Amino acid sequence: MVLMLRAILDQKHPKAQRSYADQIAFVADRPGHDARYAVDYTRIRTQLGWQPSIAFEEGLALTVDWYLNNRPVA
């Protein structure tokens, strides 16, 4: 998800000198911290017939747009 967000920001709000990818730093997993953050929507789809109204990538891009268009005035 971080890589998708970086790509969106590089396209919509590029930095003057570098890419947002330069800010990504991977760290060792912490003991007791869940290394897997996947969500399985199978149950909600099969039992309730739920489907997302937009794709995750599109929703992430729309969220970035909202934050860029609603930045606090300094």
Taking only the tens place, the pLDDT of each residue in 6-57 is: 999 999 999 888 888 888 887 777 666 666 667 788 888 999 999 989 999 9
Cα gap 23→15, rounded to integer Å: 11
Cα gap 38→27, rounded to integer Å: 19
pTM: 0.72
| Cβ atoms < 10 Å from Cβ of 65 | 13
Report pLDDT for 36.
64
Report pLDDT for 40.
81
User: Which residues touch 13 (CB under 8 Å, ≥6 apart)?
Assistant: 64, 68
Q: If phi over 0 gives left and psi between -120 and 50 gives alpha, with beta otherwise, what is residue 63?
A: alpha
Terminal-residue alpha carbon distance, the chain = 29
| pLDDT range class, residue 60, cuts 50, 70, 90 | very high
Report pLDDT for 37.
67
